[in-house]
Amino acid sequence: MSETFAWGWFGVGFTRDVPARAAMAATVCGRELAVWRRASGELVALDAWCPHLGAHMGHGGTVVDDNLRCHFHGFCFDREGRCTRTGYGGRVPPKAVVRSHPVIDFGGVVAVWFDPEDRPPTWTPELPSTEGWVAPRGMQWTFAGRPQEIAENSVDLGHLTVVHDYAGARVHGDVRFDGPILRAEIRFTRRLPLWGRRGPITEHRARITQHGVGLAVVETHTPALGLDTRFVVAGTALDATTVTLRTTDSMRSLRHHPLLRPLGGRVPTGLLDALAMSPLHASFVGDVSQDVPIWSRKRVLDRPALAEGDGPIGRYRTWAKQFYRAPRVGLPLVDED
């Protein structure tokens, strides 16, 4: 049982940063990992410390024949973490095994399963299809904090107006708590950043799917412009007091936009996508950059003085408690407040 680290799926890097033939070092909740990919593209996450003589395989390990090869004495490990050969050609020592962790690509973020007691995953987050979407852009910040505080932002309605200058923020429909998954739709109006300060003020409908406290996707539809964007938010504890926040943002390609259809494909949509993505990315990053200085200095209050207009923070916190407790099944997940 852990009071420090939540169990769940957590981002440990950007998918595009995993090299083709070498390992990438990663950290989740004090655990060091070596992330690499097989020839098929499949991601693998192994404990970083080589069981031979302790080299960190995330810093120098290479991929050879779909194995991770330690750069110190050449021991090789397959996707399950089994040693397949030593660097000397002799018998493989039975103790030469490293732990393999479930790993997925979540919208451009490499996400691994973490459980303080090493229990297997109870669910696997799924992202809606990325077909027809622009390649995601990423950004990351490291600061004092923990993932749960970042995830709380998704139901913190009050700060949307005060910090981000949105207007009329409200929860549309019910907030649904479905085991480890929280779903909510938030509607608000704001100035669209596409044309700088002259962008139109439009309504936005943001569907939030929060997978545990570590991973979320926010899918925003802007009806007036027929625009769809997607924002992945991944907060990961590096240790007990430090968090790394990674975000990716993407938009549905303008290739199929109704307003451009009459032009019959004569418009170079790649260029239009790039032109639209730049200010959207700047806007996403700008929003998070407004939150980070607050998150990095705030205290966690167990008894917050919640007020009308706050959004369902109490219910969020009750839901979030499940990730710090064992057992994971059979808990009364949500007390209505």
> By the criterion CB under 5 A, which residues form the site for Fe ion?
153, 291
**Contact assessment for residue 215 and residue 203, using Cβ atoms and an 8 Å cutoff:** no
* 8-state DSSP, 187: E
What number of chain residues touch ligand FES (CB under 6 A)?
Answer: 11
Spatial separation of the C-alpha atoms in residues 93 and 186, rounded to whole Å: 55
Scanning 73-81, 101-109, 134-142, 267-275 for contacts with ligand FES by CB under 6 A, the matching segment is: 73-81
Q: How far is the CB of 29 from ligand FES (least distance, A)?
A: 23
* 8-state DSSP, 238: S
Q: How far is the CB of 245 from Fe ion (least distance, A)?
A: 11
Q: Which CB sits closer to ligand FES, 26 or 70?
A: 70
What residue 153 binds from ligand FES, Fe ion, none (CB within 5 to 8 A, per partner kind)?
A: Fe ion
Spatial separation of the C-alpha atoms in residues 318 and 337, rounded to whole Å: 10
Spatial separation of the C-alpha atoms in residues 231 and 111, rounded to whole Å: 15
**Contact assessment for residue 318 and residue 334, using Cβ atoms and an 8 Å cutoff:** yes
Residue given tokens 């200085």 in the structure block:
293
Q: Per rule CB under 6 A, is residue 53 in the interface with ligand FES?
A: yes
Return the beta strands (E) in 43-179 as ranges.
Answer: 43-47, 62-64, 67-69, 76-77, 83-85, 100-101, 103-106, 109-114, 137-144, 167-178
Q: Per rule CB under 6 A, is residue 297 in the interface with ligand FES?
A: no
Restricting to residues 186-215, name those near ligand FES by CB under 6 A. Answer: none
Q: Which CB sits closer to ligand FES, 69 or 281?
A: 69
Q: How far is the CB of 69 from ligand FES (least distance, A)?
A: 8
Q: Per rule CB under 6 A, is residue 76 in the interface with ligand FES?
A: no
Closest CA to 213 of 291, 316, 104: 316
Scanning 26-34, 49-57, 136-144, 169-177 for contacts with ligand FES by CB under 6 A, the matching segment is: 49-57
Tell me the residue type at 78.
Answer: D
Residue nearest to Fe ion (CB): 291
**Max CA separation in the chain (angstroms):** 70
Q: Which two tokens stand for residue 89?
A: 């050609």
Scanning 71-79, 189-197, 202-210, 222-230 for contacts with ligand FES by CB under 6 A, the matching segment is: 71-79
Q: Which of 2, 60, 72, 79 binds ligand FES (CB under 6 A)?
A: 72
Q: How far is the CA of 307 from the CAs of 13, 157, 174, 313, in angstroms?
A: 37, 11, 19, 10
Cβ count within 10 A of residue 89? 7
Q: Which CB sits closer to ligand FES, 78 or 219?
A: 78
What residue 72 binds from Fe ion, ligand FES, none (CB within 5 to 8 A, per partner kind)?
A: ligand FES
Q: Which CB sits closer to ligand FES, 52 or 183?
A: 52
Scanning 72-80, 215-223, 298-306, 314-322 for contacts with ligand FES by CB under 6 A, the matching segment is: 72-80
